[in-house]
Chain A
Amino acid sequence: MPEFGNFIIVCGHYGCGKTNFSMNLAVRLTEEGRKVTMVDLDLVNPYFRTSDYAPVLEKKGIRLVAPVFAHSNLDLPAMPAEIETVFSIRDGTVIIDVGGDDAGATALGRYAGRIREMEGVQMLYLINRYRALTKSPEEAAALLREIETACRLKATGVVNNSHLQNNTTAQDVEASMDFARRTAELLSLPLVLTTAPRRLQEELSAKIPDLFPVDRYVTPPWEVMG
């Protein structure tokens, strides 16, 4: 498994699975004994965002920093002052879940100066081969350029998060590897890891390097019995 530093930014296309991956990463690092803070920096999407899953994070002991108006009817691009505290955390790990595309990454640009001064920042670019508009390595690479321009930061690695939700098969994951490698190559970035639903871990671990099993936290309301 790749090394994770103490400041990780997760960016990518709308709906490619940033929030679900960020939550899995947060849970995993917490289980390794780290003190994790998650930042919901999504100012462009009112639905299916980290803040919606606050109870899950709370249960795991993960601190959540989210826009004040998240989950409300106010479509207001405002940051909470609390975000300022995450740039000076010395004894824990920060995961920033950025909004989709360049539009979502613009909010991250607000902190580009602070982040550039920090050491060991990892900015992971999530890709999903099965996502419309980023199905080819060329399209996926072009989108990262737009994101980087918007947030004025450079990605440090690619995460292959190719999936079809509950329908994902081992073949789907395997078939995405060429796409992921080619995208990373076009961007001159390392392919950091490949995610797969946990149920496929056994079947895929020998075949896929740096396999990162994920659970599904981001679910529609009818899958929650309450």
Chain B
Amino acid sequence: MTLPVQPTACSTGAPAPVRCAHCGLACPPGAPSEADHRFCCRGCQSVYSLLHQEGLGEFYSLSPDAGVRPGPDDPQQFAFLDQPEIRAQYADFCDGQRLRATLRVPAIHCLACVWLLENLFRLEPGFGASRVAFGRRELFIEIDLNRLSFSRAATRLAELGYPPEFRLADLEESNHSVRARIHRHEWLRLGVAGFAFGNTMLFSLAQYLGMEAGSTPGFRPLTGWLSLVLALPVVVYSAGDYWRASWLSIRQRRLAIEVPIAVGIVAIFLQSTWEVVSGHGPGYFDSLAGLLFFLLIGRAFSRVAWDRLSFERDYKSFFPLAVTRRSASGDTTVVIGQLDVGDRVVLRPGDLIPADGRLLSETTRIDYSFVTGEAEPVGQVRGDLLYAGGRQRYGIIEVAITKPVSQSYLTSLWDQAAFRKQRGERLDSLLNRYSPRFTAIILALAIGSALFWWPTDPARAVKAFVSVLIVACPCALALAAPFSLGTAQRMLARHRIFLRNPQVIEDLAGIDGVVLDKTGTLTQPNQGELVFQGEALSESERQALRAMAAHSSHPVAERVRAWLGTDGGPQEVRDFSEVPGAGIEGRIGSLELRLGSPAWFRDLGIVPPEAESSASALLAMDGKWRGAFHWGGELRPGVDALIRTLENRLPIWLLSGDRDREGSRWRTVFSPSTTLCFGQSPMEKLDKIRTLQCSGHRIMMVGDGLNDAGGLRQSTVGVAVVEAIGTFSPASDVILDARSLPMLSDVLTYSHRVMRVVRICLGISTAYNLVGLTIAARGELQPVVCAILMPLSSVTVVAAGCGLAAWSARKLQRNSIPVPSPT
């Protein structure tokens, strides 16, 4: 899978590296070039030439970081798409000739992507019209199946650097249309409320301005009845969510913020209807429609659809969709769900083991970092049991499935109660604590003022009772949090920190302990410095190794070549061969060289010292072990500073799935008082967090892979660190781009500030309520006062909430790396 372009870290003092003309990444020495353009790899070069041949060179002028480095070429990757039943699942429409599908393409990131993907038909005749939905990172496409198969189309997209993502979960439920329907209803509710607000206000304005027309008989009843007609759809349709939510909260015997709003709506509507029908007055329909209009804007604002991010991914998202099943009649591609116990499946290097099974091939190495967090692959021999979720690292293997997919280790892990923690609305949020009190006070006030006036003036008592309910409608209260928190959510998103919903800010502000994962979270995979262990290489050996490594485009070979430094002149390499998943070998002059994985060396009988089995690559000369290349997980830039800041304000725990191999090194990064735990299984991580929570801590867990998924869910706030937004991440509250990790401490500070802003807004809203309630309790509320006071308080609260939340974010701006805007 191709990751979107990431700026590569340059070592200090090195000359500025040559940038690839396609993807902008640094070109390694000896990279392909064409005319005066250099490329980082053959894939980039072929995309570049293809686009220029087809007259699509404008692609590069549309955006500074247009190109995406295409992933490794694997023609079989999408073969499963040609199976009619799978094709039917993913297609929106297919009649055997033509196919339309909506594909998820996470790599879409700029204007140039939109342009290229909508011009696909110029590249390949089989493509028909295509359209991009930028926000959702979706590509709607038509394919002429007579000229281009579905799998070929997907492969073509992958070759261009836009691999479509197909997920198992997509097969099970299609939530695309459900989401679209909810989306439409939100727009319609808002539209209806706005329409009614504008028109009733127009009618009322005439009356407020004194055009009360005794001169025009029938004017007042006409506008009154029209306002009533306009208000009906608002109450019935636009306010629908408030009725539902209040009914739910009454049944659960708690007072959510929706209850006083619903009571207010009922009070306004009944009072106004009575006034219009009996001819007593114009009613408060303008205030009613305005109230709902503002409330719905607030809701829409706070639920800005972060469609591009799914926060509810479960383990199935990590699983492949289809595997190759080997049977007597040959190899076929089957969907995971159709795997039966006893089936033999073929796995290539990099494939995930879909279900528990027994190894049929001689040897392999399985990387269980997804499940256990242990970064080092485990060697396995024939007959060993392999667990689902492991990643196959060596050779092509055959596995006999022993358990169906749904009963495997990962599934059982996820079926743990804690892994299924409900992440619904928080019950103890600031607003929900405030609203029962608010409702109680208002009811007391309404009854109190009614009782006060009843003995002297019963009509005034009724009016006071209703007026208090009307004017106290907590619209400002309901707007304060959505707008402040929603603004904060947007501000954080600019720094590539994405919140599941705005309420997460409140949880963040309450955090008093941080649990950190190590591998992949604090460290960068494969970014550490390359170290050679063994007797130093002579100059001729270095040159020979460089010449051989130049023949391979494998990342390990490229890095070894980069480590060896500048070119020392061409050397002839004879008998060169590359063993996929194992290594490369060749002969330079009289020297026979091998560079490859420890497992390969074991197979060849070149047994390295035990300590070197964790090395990334081994080197042998003339059949004898010569040395090992290591690179450790390097700390992400800025992480040590982050740890120091965090340690100053909160207790920290480090829970790592890794064994205590680098314990001493980590001791120097953390202060002595910090607890470091190694060798933690996912379940142990979860238990540790639960124990901390039982002792009263509110824990933020920062982690990556699936092995942290349980912890991320159990914690009060789970932060998933991802290399590229849009790639897989476990279910969490916050998705954080790895480059923004150093800002974590600032994010906590910011969340405290935003909560202060919310309290200020609540104060403003209370002040308005005091004024309105004073007038209402005296039974002197005029529609015009209501019509002015209610929008005014809403607007002030919204302005204060957005303004202050945005202003508080200025410190974030200073501390962060510049981030290009999403478009």
Q: Do A and B come from one complex?
A: no
Chain A residues packing against B (C-beta within 8 Å) = none
